[in-house]
Amino acid sequence: MKSKRLHKSEGYVFVIFMCCVLQTILTAPLPDLHGLSNCDLYITADNTTQELKCSIQTGQVLDYRRVRGWTALQSTGTFSVHITCNGGSLHMPWPFKAKHVVALQVNGCKLFGFLSEMTQQQSVEDELRTLMLYKTTIVIPFADMYALRNNLDRIPRDTDCGQVTLEKLVLRDVHYDLQMTPEDRDRMSPIVHNTSIGHDAALLPTKSPCVFPNLKYVDESGSRKTGQYHLKLLPDYSVFPKLEVYNMSRNELSHIPDFFRYLHSDKYPSLRQLDFSNNILHSFEFEIPKNVKTCTLEKVDLHNNRIAFIPKETTDTLQNIGTILVDLRENPLRCTCELKDLRVYLEAQYRKSANMTRQLISEVTCSLRSAFHGTMDQVSLLNSGFDKKCG
Ligand SMILES: *[C@@H]1O[C@H](CO)[C@@H](O)[C@H](O)[C@H]1NC(C)=O
Ligand SMILES: *[C@@H]1O[C@H](CO)[C@@H](O)[C@H](O)[C@H]1NC(C)=O
Ligand SMILES: *[C@@H]1O[C@H](CO)[C@@H](O)[C@H](O)[C@H]1NC(C)=O
Ligand SMILES: *[C@@H]1O[C@H](CO)[C@@H](O)[C@H](O)[C@H]1NC(C)=O
């Protein structure tokens, strides 16, 4: 790693060279990290982005408003903030805006204060290009959610959209923990049963869509939904002109959300890969694009779902388009004549694919009752002759 570590504590500067790159860093003025005792500043060799690394131990709380206050005072450069919780927690209000911060990564944190600035007018410009939250639980007291629900019209549009400068968004294994006291439960039960608070329609009333002009990659894999209570950081009412990959793997989904039903949409005209693997989908619920010529989609990953059958109209359309690979490995497909067309489509895909994809296609299996033992065997759809007797 071509970086040097600058650790300032009580006015004494330690410089540890992690590589052989020598620069004039020693003479450069060091920003004062006072108030951020859990954080160290690293400067990359090219001196373009400075990395602020914070580690929060058990019993400690890092208030992102302090980080925000600190970066606002810096006059040069941009910052990449990297926060890891080792038992400690983080106070960080959505939409995480901070001056000069272009990248933000959070690992293993309990995140508090998420809704605390929802109705405040944001004074900081959007600058964030990369936002990555891993294994993070966003703790939301029900009372906060309830209060917000009554003030939806006071949420500024900026806050609704988050940061539209994003290029990459990763919310992997991010959960919402809606905390409800018994009193909350009594007070709120009529609301709880009637509306889906925080869901798109509620949080984002009839406003014009948020446009994310640079967003290319979204990973929301591994989100456990706590019933109807979940806030999606990316609202359904958005437009992603450059979006290439959307990852919804491991979301416990039994249906495709409406937003993705149309595999080709003006909302995401550049989509290449859609990952719905490791869910509990029972059928191929997508609408296949009509305008074949402009479809950029290359792969729909449906491996490890519960799909038993693909209708002929679907395989016919896929066959016509020819460029979309549907990964159907690890699905309970049954080797019946109804799968004949799927086989034709897979064969065509196989012929035009490179090695690795061929491997994948040949791993698509269906279950066939063995003539000898009466057991169900998994056979490769491509290699078995189950459809020989079909008309
Ligand atoms: C490197 O950082 C120093 C201090 O932060 C700044 O004065 C200098 O202009 C930077 N150099 C480059 C090439 O960005
Ligand atoms: C909530 O649901 C109950 C029962 O379904 C109904 O009687 C009541 O009118 C609903 N309240 C609202 C505000 O929709
Ligand atoms: C989606 O995320 C999972 C991890 O949760 C990863 O293994 C997979 O490769 C990702 N898919 C794409 C298309 O990036
Ligand atoms: C993969 O492709 C290369 C050429 O591109 C070929 O030589 C090789 O035999 C292929 N491997 C398999 C397993 O098909």
- Verify that 6 and 46 share a domain, yes or no: no
Domain ranges, residue 330 = 244-391
188 touches ligand 2 (CB under 6 Å): no
Per the domain annotation, does 219 fall within a domain?
no
Per the domain annotation, does 356 fall within a domain?
yes
- Verify that 255 and 145 share a domain, yes or no: no
- Verify that 258 and 380 share a domain, yes or no: yes
Domain count, the chain: 3
Per the domain annotation, does 220 fall within a domain?
no
Query: Using alpha carbons only, how large is the chain's radius of gyration in Å?
Result: 25
The first and second tokens of residue 198, run together, are: 């925080």
How far does the centroid of ligand 4 lie from the alpha carbon of residue 355, in Å?
6
User: What global pTM score does this model have?
Assistant: 0.82
Nearest CA to ligand 1 atom 3: 28
Q: Which of 47, 49, 52 to mutate to test the pocket of ligand 1 (most atoms within 8 A of CB)?
A: 47
- d(Cα 18, Cα 4) in Å, to the nearest integer? 6
Per-residue model confidence as pLDDT tens digits over 58-106: 999 999 999 999 999 988 889 999 999 999 999 999 999 999 999 999 9
- Verify that 145 and 287 share a domain, yes or no: no
Per the domain annotation, does 224 fall within a domain?
no
- d(Cα 69, Cα 86) in Å, to the nearest integer? 23
Contact 335, 384 (CB under 8 A): yes
Mean pLDDT, the chain, whole residue set: 82
- Verify that 184 and 263 share a domain, yes or no: no
Atom of ligand 3 lying closest to residue 222 CA? 5
Going from the C-alpha of 116 to that of each of 95, 155, 246, the distances in angstroms are 10, 11, 29
Query: What average pLDDT does the segment 139-160 reach?
Result: 83
The letter for the amino acid at 389 is K
Q: Please state, for a pLDDT cut of 70, what percent of the chain lies above it.
A: 81
Per the domain annotation, does 140 fall within a domain?
yes
The first and second tokens of residue 360, run together, are: 């994948």
Check residue 160 and report its DSSP letter. Answer: H
Is residue 128 pLDDT above 70, yes or no?
yes
Per-residue model confidence as pLDDT tens digits over 236-288: 778 999 999 999 999 999 999 888 888 888 889 999 999 999 999 999 998 88
> Out of 95-104, 111-120, 163-172, 201-210, which region has the weakest mean confidence (pLDDT)?
201-210
Nearest CA to ligand 3 atom 2: 221
- Verify that 199 and 288 share a domain, yes or no: no
Per-residue model confidence as pLDDT tens digits over 315-366: 988 888 888 999 999 999 999 888 889 999 999 999 999 999 999 999 999 9
